[in-house]
Amino acid sequence: MSTDSPATPPGDASSSNASSSDASAFPFGQEIAWTPDPDTIAASNLRAFMDAHGIENYDTLMERSCQDVAWFWDAVLEDLDIQFYEPYDEVVDLSGGIERPRWCVGGKMNIAQNLIDKWKVDPETKAREAIRWEGENGRTRTLTYDELEVQACRCAAALHELGLEKGDPVGLYMPMTPQTVIAFLAIAKIGGIILPLFSGYGPDAIATRLQSAGAKALFCADGFTRRGRPITMKENVDEALTACPTVEHVILYRHLREADAPDVSMQNGRDHFWADLVPPQPDLHETVEMDAEDPLMLIYTSGTTGEPKGAVHTHCGFPVKAAQDIAHSMDLGPGETMYWMSDMGWMMGPWLVFGTLLNQATMVLYDGAPDHPGPGRLWQLCDDHGVTHLGVSPTLVRALKPSGTDPVEQHDLSALRAVGSTGSPWDPESWTWLFEDVLGGEKPILNYSGGTEISGGILCGNFFKPLAPCAFSGPVPGMDADVVNAAGKPVRGEVGELILRQPWIGMTRGFWGDEGDERYLDSYWRRFEELWAHGDFAAVDEHGLWYILGRSDDTINVAGKRLGPAEVEAALNADEAVAESAAVGVPDEVKGQEVVAFAVLNDSHAPSGDLRERLMERVTRALGKPLRPRDIRFTEALPKTRNAKVMRRVIRAAYLGEDPGDTSSLEDPSTVEAVKAAV
């Protein structure tokens, strides 16, 4: 079986007219660290898919999946057993242009029927655990597929009792609990539109999204616990709803334990306790028939300017792409267990729900900090819940690495087959620590990158291809990806823009309320003709391995030399004093831009002029004198989202004293002040 690098995307790499000065100092072409196991390949979901279609090897699959998208996605729908009330006439209609494909044309379905309803007649899956939940205080709860279906029916009946119906947007402002998933499924079941909201949002961010969506109802919790401290939520809802007249009903789940739970205000006629409304409902409730392209979910993304954008996803879109990535690239199968650290307000929360339930697997939900009360909590969760697939961010690994291997060695991780990673680029030292000291040098790190508008990944590691530190195996099957220069020509061995040449079933259908699709087209389709420009800075090395080096709008251009923030950060993070770092480009009259970096130090090190100079020299040695930073500052913390993505645009704005734009996704807004106070 072939383990060669992925097939080269269309285009002649030799046609590049990029300057050699664009060559990156990031460690491309490192030694291969992991090679696939032939027995694992032979038993994989993807091998079974290939055998069913007479496809000999991975490269042939990639070529066919990109050249014949109609065949491929029709085959994926069959492979995932996506059931329709009425079959579709054609899998994709491109008559409106590559930017506006229509999928599963004429098909009638509801994804809730595929997620929970259809398992009622499968005794094995019906009895399988769908959810394993653990709270920060150690409380646990499990729900089988059968129990989850009953709870979703009761919740759907409650929504119908309140007058909610097909097409009504319903918000979800809740921590990661079983009730969040129950409500999520219930909204889909009645034909409503799911509106996930980050559990750390304040009133303004909640109001902006509810207003934009025209939400009719909202699920919320009274609060949650983080690092042993109760965090309340209902007050934020009450303040937000003063500006949201369309919200007619609020369903409140009392999540905090009674000893921790403060009194909550309830508005007569609008607010309902979950415990009063949902449990008395009947165990059976109809699932509403929908057009395959009816809206299922709005996920709002934040930008540097303007209001957040509501990416529209459909019943036959996001769930299918999420499940395909999980089945084909990550090889999750029935009875296996995935824990991917996220929040339901970020795309990886819905991704986890759709992907596990469509693949008859178990999801782990943890409602707490992954390093509380100590650095072993993450590994304890994997041990206790038999996690086979773990999803982390490189930022979290960098935070856990200084604690060494003792917290890891105290737990049995033998069930773990792979670790997935997303959220930010790797540095080689942290990748190597995870691979060698946690995974024993035997199990792959499935680096994963895509986005909310993708419904999953463009690139991913897999069980078929060798891996080097920080690398991706290549594009996910069905994703016709390439790296191009500013002229749109393919490049290899140097940095360029990540693009897509063909549509895929999970692509967003546009932005909610975007008249004429102008904002959608501006965001992705008008940079290059008939190419989706994703906004990531990427490269492919001589082995055919792919790298993501950060957002291309984070690109630093020093006197014509393009630099990815990850290159600077990799050099800084290699120093024993540095826990994590972030690099940004700032204006310079002569060079156009210069590099300014911010470093968070490990506890055993303190800021000093000598340390700053040492770090300056380290970056200079790695990248060359022309790219020596203007300044390196020491900060107590970096602004991050809850899923640990470092917000470089916010850092840059704080340094320059500019408006940072939408900061509602930050886990801790005080980190902006920490950057301003950096020394």
Q: For the segment 97-116, what is each residue's pLDDT rounded down to a tens digit?
A: 999 999 999 999 999 999 99
Residue 490 reports pLDDT greater than 90: yes
Instruction: Give the tens place of pLDDT for each residue, 609-659.
Output: 999 999 999 988 877 777 889 999 999 999 987 667 788 888 998 999 888
C-alpha to C-alpha distance for 359 and 356, rounded to whole angstroms: 5
Mean pLDDT over residues 541-570, rounded? 78
Q: How many CA atoms lie within 13 A of 390 on its CB side?
A: 30
Decide: 271 and 248 in contact? Cβ < 8 Å: no
> Which of residues 522 and 395 earns the better pLDDT score?
522
**Paired tokens of 24:** 């990156």
The residue count of the chain comes to 679
SS3 per residue for 214-225: CCCEEEEECEEE
* Confidence tier at 301 by pLDDT (50, 70, 90): confident
| Alpha carbon separation from 671 to 305, 523, 576, 674 (Å, rounded) | 20, 28, 23, 5
* Confidence tier at 8 by pLDDT (50, 70, 90): very low
Residue 68 reports pLDDT greater than 90: yes
CA angle 272, 278, 284 (to 5 degrees): 150
Residue 314 reports pLDDT greater than 90: yes
* Confidence tier at 570 by pLDDT (50, 70, 90): confident
- Residue from 601, 497, 598, 494 nearest 550 by CA: 497
* Confidence tier at 557 by pLDDT (50, 70, 90): confident
Mean pLDDT over residues 240-248, rounded? 96
Q: Could you please state the CATH topology (level 3) that the domain comprising 555-676 is classified under.
A: GMP Synthetase; Chain A, domain 3 (3.30.300)
- Amino acid 566: pLDDT: 77
* Confidence tier at 12 by pLDDT (50, 70, 90): very low
- Amino acid 562: pLDDT: 60
Residue 50 reports pLDDT greater than 60: yes
C-alpha to C-alpha distance for 455 and 29, rounded to whole angstroms: 30
* Confidence tier at 28 by pLDDT (50, 70, 90): low
C-alpha to C-alpha distance for 482 and 488, rounded to whole angstroms: 10
Q: Average model confidence (pLDDT) for the chain?
A: 90
User: What is the C-alpha R_g of the chain?
Assistant: 24
The SS3 call for residue 627 is helix
Residue 14 reports pLDDT greater than 50: no
* Confidence tier at 15 by pLDDT (50, 70, 90): very low
Mean pLDDT over residues 499-517, rounded? 95
pTM: 0.84
Mean pLDDT over residues 144-156, rounded? 98
Mean pLDDT over residues 239-259, rounded? 91
- Amino acid 18: pLDDT: 28
- Amino acid 426: pLDDT: 85
- Amino acid 302: pLDDT: 63
**Domain boundaries, given as residue ranges, for the chain:** 555-676
> Which of residues 664 and 192 earns the better pLDDT score?
192
Residue 19 reports pLDDT greater than 80: no
**27-41, 190-204, 497-511: least confidently modelled range:** 27-41
**423-437, 531-545, 626-640, 658-672: least confidently modelled range:** 658-672
Instruction: Give the tens place of pLDDT for each residue, 430-468.
Output: 999 999 999 999 999 999 999 999 999 999 999 999 999
- Amino acid 261: pLDDT: 62
Decide: 322 and 354 in contact? Cβ < 8 Å: yes
